Amino acid sequence: MTASAQLRIARLATTSAVHRAFHWLHLHQPQLRQWQLELLRIPAPPFGEQARAAWFLDRFRQLGLANPHIDAAGNTLAELPGASTQGSDPRTPEVILLSAHLDTVFPSGTPTEPTEIDTRILAPGACDNAAGLTGLLGLAAAMRHAELSPAVPILFAANVGEEGEGDLRGMRHLFTSSPYAPHIAAAIALEGGGTSAVVTRALASRRFRITVTGPGGHSWIDAGAPNPILILARALLALESLDLPNGDPRTTLNIGQISGGTSINSIPAAATAWLDLRSTDPDQLLAAELALRESLDQWITHAPTLAPAKKPAAPLTGLSIETIGDRPGGALPDSAALLTTLRAVDRHLNQRTEPGLGSTDANIPLSLGVPAIAIGAGGIGGGIHTLQEWYDPTGRNAALRRVLLTLLDTAHLASLE
């Protein structure tokens, strides 16, 4: 199988159409940079991707892709027809999904104007995921310019909801409710920068919003009433004692946000925290969630409280544990054709293949048994998920060649099934 893949890639890389696409990518790096700067100026906070989605719809139309549209979930989609759609066969063909997520982790109101320092681009989301989105456009443009006709259609998607509470909603729609769902044979998600790394194992996670409620009141008059901030703080500190495995399988717990209260001289009526629980093993994830819930119940629901000074009894403290994220796990088998193809491409390009674990848009297809990877779109970046995020596209061309060859060979294999 490996020798066969090597031969296919060697032949594919010598075709005139592929050379034209490579040439376009080489000559048009300034165009890719300009696209990246333009899209960075358009905020795409969680659940606020509409303006950036509309910008992508215009770009897809300008490139002449087929059926450009925004679907019910807010994903911007377009197609590059394949050879299988140009004959007389009436069957709906398989498609290969090439995607990059539109959203960033940064809330509405975050300044997004990019700054250029030498070859670097500095802006929130410059790497995650403006690098992937730019690569998506570059590959679409190169394939259109080269008049490439893949063996089956390519579905391009600038999708919503990858970050935070978005909970992969764009990908969930594509693989469950979308008309494309039954026809996606494989999926490649462009995620940030890098050239050698590839996510082949999906890290499962569960996310929770913990809310503690109380009667509230005046800091002097109602002194002694249950204080939700203090109660929640004690409960969160107690979570440090949870016995979470740190080896293999590894399980982690993060408290990412905490909020509550009205003013400095008010006893708060509510306090909230957001928790992220991840594990490489689904059984460990479930066990950790049960331990978390038991600990919170013990420290919040059953914690002793003092009665307010001028009230006969303290109202009961309330606890709410809301699941706000559920990312399924999965893995691409080591023998999968998609991974064999990528390894053959990397050998042809004299690059390394570094399979890894991550929480990406690939989680959804991998959990459903659909071959999928998340792969870097080239260049390097840093300060991910911070206001100091940066991206340097130097060397991006090599990664996009890697993706293009993998995409075309995967389409070829899908046409044979």
Question: Where a domain ends, among 280, 311, 327?
Answer: 327
pLDDT score for 338:
98
Same domain, 120 and 98: yes
pLDDT-derived band of residue 86, with 50, 70 and 90 as boundaries?
A: low
Domain span holding position 88: 2-203+329-416
Looking at the structure, do residues 170 and 251 belong to the same domain, yes or no? no
Cis peptide bond prior to 350, omega within 30° of 0: no
- Residues 48 and 158 grouped into a single domain: yes
Say whether both 37 and 141 belong to one domain: yes
Are 173 and 52 part of one and the same domain?
yes
| 85 pLDDT more than 80 | no
The pLDDT tens digits for 29-78 are 999 999 999 999 999 999 999 999 999 999 999 999 999 999 999 999 99
Instruction: Let me know: does 81 contact 415? Beta carbons within 8 Å.
Output: no
What pLDDT band is residue 416 in, cutting at 50, 70 and 90? very high
Which of 157, 182, 156 minimizes the C-alpha distance to 168?
Answer: 157
Same domain, 378 and 366: yes
Mean pLDDT of the chain: 93
- Comparing CA positions, the residue from 136, 10, 138 lying closest to residue 77 is 136
Distance CA 195, CA 150 (A): 23
Same domain, 315 and 403: no
Residue in the structure block whose two tokens are 């960033």: 104
How far apart CA 53 and CA 71 sit, in angstroms, is: 10
CATH number of 264's domain: 3.30.70.360
Domain end among 327, 357, 391: 327
Please, which pLDDT band fits residue 88 given cuts at 50, 70 and 90?
A: very low
- pTM more than 0.75: yes
Amino acid symbol at 49:
E
Residue range 272-280: mean pLDDT, rounded: 96
The verdict on 307 and 349 lying in the same domain is: no
Say yes or no: 223 and 359 in one domain: no
**What's 250's DSSP letter?**
B
Residues 185 and 257 occupy one common structural domain: no
Question: What confidence tier does 303 reach under pLDDT thresholds 50, 70, 90?
Answer: low
Q: What is the rounded CA–CA span in Å between residue 210 and residue 275?
A: 8
Query: At 406, is the secondary structure helix, strand, or coil?
Result: helix
Mean pLDDT (whole number) for 153-169: 96
Among the listed residues 177, 207, 171, 197, the one whose alpha carbon sits nearest the alpha carbon of residue 366: 171
Same domain for 293 and 336? no
**Residue 417 binned pLDDT confidence (cut-offs 50, 70, 90):** confident
Distance between CA atoms of residues 306 and 332, nearest Å: 54
**Which of 126-130, 242-246, 346-350, 394-398 has the least mean pLDDT?**
242-246
375-404 residue pLDDT tens:
999 999 999 999 999 999 999 999 999 999
Q: Give me the CATH number covering residue 84.
A: 3.40.630.10
User: Where among 270, 305, 327 does a domain terminate?
Assistant: 327
Domain count, the chain: 2
Per the CB < 8 A criterion, the answer to whether 350 and 373 are in contact is no
CA 330 – CA 141 distance, rounded (Å):
32
373 and 291 in a common domain: no
